Amino acid sequence: MFPVVVVHGGAGHIPKERSENSTSGVRSATRAGYTILQRGGSSMDAVVEAVTQLENNPSFNAGCGSVLNIKGEVEMDAIVMDGKTLGSGAVSAVRNIANPIQLARLVMDKTGHACLTAEGANQFARSMGVPEVPLESLITDYSRMRWKKNLAPDANPVECQMGKMGTVGAVAVDSEGNVACATSTGGMLNKMEGRVGDTPCIGCGGYADNQVGAVSTTGHGEAIMKVILARLILFHMEQGQSVEAASDLALAYMKSRVGGLGGVVTVDPQGQWAARFSSLQMAWAAAQKDTLHYGLYTGEHFTQSIDDPL
């Protein structure tokens, strides 16, 4: 068994001028997570570090690059899950927090609950000494431009959303065979205030179980929730399917049954991994055996040494 971390930067259509930033962002985050695994760190530490890096990168729809809701504000969702204990923590519709994924981990580690929402999540953050950041620090010019564009009466936010479905996530297996997942998002472009998608819902935005594997998802949240995508993939794996086949089967089912597009990163406890998507693109990267793998389009698979410059 070789430790591995696999990261996605969101499924959808990434404009050409932004695709390079997406690809380099997931590679950099993957390297950061893998460094933790190389030092004997846990899969949970690795996925949280990888996702934190993506939240801090304005190219992704999470943390400081989050899309805006209908009021022009940022509400974020995140989840973590530990495959050893089935412990999980999530936050939804949280505001003014730079790294919701770290807050989700605190929910798992420091409370008896699985999910905290909105003001309750913010109160918990304050009690844990997590600093609040001004709303403006989470809003990019790009997000504001797209928000304004989608206020037009003839706009189609779902279609336009595919331009930045940059939900971010990671899965990992550590040297002890423990699996973990982490997923974080700013949600859907011009969503109603208080809308919560698949990301913080256990079994939808992510799931991790040492007996089967771990998954982090991205795509159209409402579609993902209808098919419980992350857990559906693990169900196929329990039936004997490989990580790749199970991922493809579940994505195909979501497309045929509810017309939803998306993408996933999946691992099993033996260190087999996959990055699969039904959308046009998904920025992804994986690190295992000192090799960095990455791609953006279907069928694309590049490799380089983990130590080579990005």
> Does 144 show up as a binding residue in the annotation?
no
Q: Are 66 and 76 in contact (CB under 8 A)?
A: yes
Q: Does 220 appear as a known binding residue? A: yes
Residue 15 phi, psi (nearest 5): -55, 145
30 is catalytic: no
How far apart are the C-alpha atoms of 2 and 175, rounded to whole Å? 7
Catalytic residue among 167, 183, 185, 217: 167
Q: Which residues pair with 207 in a beta bridge?
A: 215
Neighbours of 191 (CB within 10 A): 21
196 annotated binding-site participant: yes
Could you tell me whether strands 213-219 and 115-117 are parallel, antiparallel, or unpaired per DSSP bridges? unpaired
Q: Is 173 annotated as a binding residue?
A: no
Q: How far apart are CA 292 and CA 276, in angstroms?
A: 17
87 belongs to an annotated ligand binding site: no
Q: Is 303 annotated as a binding residue?
A: no
Q: Is position 198 annotated in a ligand binding site? A: yes
Q: Is 94 annotated as a binding residue?
A: no
* C-alpha dihedral, 33 to 39 to 44 to 49, nearest 10°: -30
Largest CA-CA distance found in the chain, in angstroms, rounded: 54
User: DSSP characters for 1-70?
Assistant: ---EEEEEEEEE---HHHHHHHHHHHHHHHHHHHHHHHTT--HHHHHHHHHHHHHTSTTSSSGGGPPP-T
Annotated binding site: 195-198, 218-221
Annotated binding site for substrate: 195-198, 218-221
> Which residues are known to be catalytic?
167
